[in-house]
Every structure is written in structure tokens, then in C-alpha cells.
Amino acid sequence: MKKIIFFALIVISASKLSGQDYIMGIGYRGINEFTREGLALTNSIDVKYNIEHDAANNKAVEAFLAFRYAGYSFTTFMEIQNQFHLPKMRYSHIYWYYGFGLHYGSYIGDTYFHRKKGHDYAGKVYNFGVDGILGFDYVFYDFPISVGIDAMPFYDIIKPGPSVFNMGFTIRYVIGK
């Protein structure tokens, strides 16, 4: 735990407050998560909008719509982002960000047999919960693409259970660079 706190303090002290290089990005998000069945990849559509672009207010809103288990999940975040400076780099297009948000989803759960009607039904499951996110985003200088990787732990409130092994990667087309 001390190593994590120490690393976080180094990252925070080495970073300079700065907004992103673009106004909005639209793209693909892939989420790897460990489930009871093993490692699962979830595909989603990702949209990120940078609200303010000065050094004092570096806020963004990110939302993505994921499709899995014959259903969907909608997640939205409010994020704070900072420029990540590496030693001996004159210009850096790497950003780190963190934030909190909410998710809601509906998908097909376990199937069951309805005795009166005489056939199987798939039970509909709803979930709602809180999310956190911590990640890195690289914005290419010459063409309008950004790539990122992040960790997104969440906690479901309706059907309780945390998931701390939720990793995501994004590829976005950026608008307004």
C-alpha cells in the first residue's frame, strides 16, 4: 500500500495541470474483465468531451455504451485530467486522468422454466452502481487519433458485488484538435 501511495505522489508531483489537446473524441472501447467464466472482452462505443481547456479547469465527461450478455450497459464519468511529463521530453501528449461515475445496465440472466406456460424464459437482470476510473491517454501529434488504457473498478448496488479487475483500452477519433 505504501508503494502505491508513493507512486501516486510521484505521478501527481511530476505532472503539470493542463487540458487535453482536443475538444471531443469518439471511438471504440474494449474492456477486459475477470468473470466467473474467465476473461471476457466487452465491446463498447466511447465518447469523451473536454469541458474546459485551461490549466485551472481540466475537466472532461466520458460516456460509453457497452453491449454484452444480450444486453447493454451505459456508464458515464466526470474526470479530472493532467498532462504527464516524462524526463527529457520537450512536449508531451500523454495525459493521466481519474474520475468517478455511475453505470446502469440490463442483460439476460439465468434461464428458468415456467411450469404453467411450459417453456423456458430468460430472466432479465438490471444493474446500477458507482464507478471509478484511473488511466492514461496518448494523443498523436500529427493525426487525429488518441489511444488510452485505464483501470475501472465498480460496485453494483442492485446486485451487490465489486469488480476490481476491470481494464479498458480505447481508440478515439478526435475532433477539434
* pLDDT tens, position by position, 107-166: 776 655 555 666 555 667 788 889 999 999 988 878 889 999 999 888 888 776 777 668
Cβ neighbourhood burial of 41 (10 Å; 0-12, 13-18, 19+): exposed
Span 84-122, pLDDT tens digits: 776 666 556 788 899 999 999 887 766 555 556 665 556
Percentage above 70 pLDDT, the chain:
64
Q: Summarize the confidence of residues 45-61 as an average pLDDT.
A: 78
For residue 126, what pLDDT is reported?
81
Among 9, 42, 16, 38, CA closest to 28: 42
Alpha-carbon distances, residue 50 vs 155, 166, 174 (angstroms)? 26, 24, 11
C-beta separation of 57 from 78 below 8 A: no
In whole angstroms, give the CA distance from residue 40 to residue 102: 21
For residue 82, what pLDDT is reported?
83
The three three-digit cell numbers of residue 61, written as one number: 465527461
For residue 92, what pLDDT is reported?
64
For residue 73, what pLDDT is reported?
87
In whole angstroms, give the CA distance from residue 68 to residue 41: 9
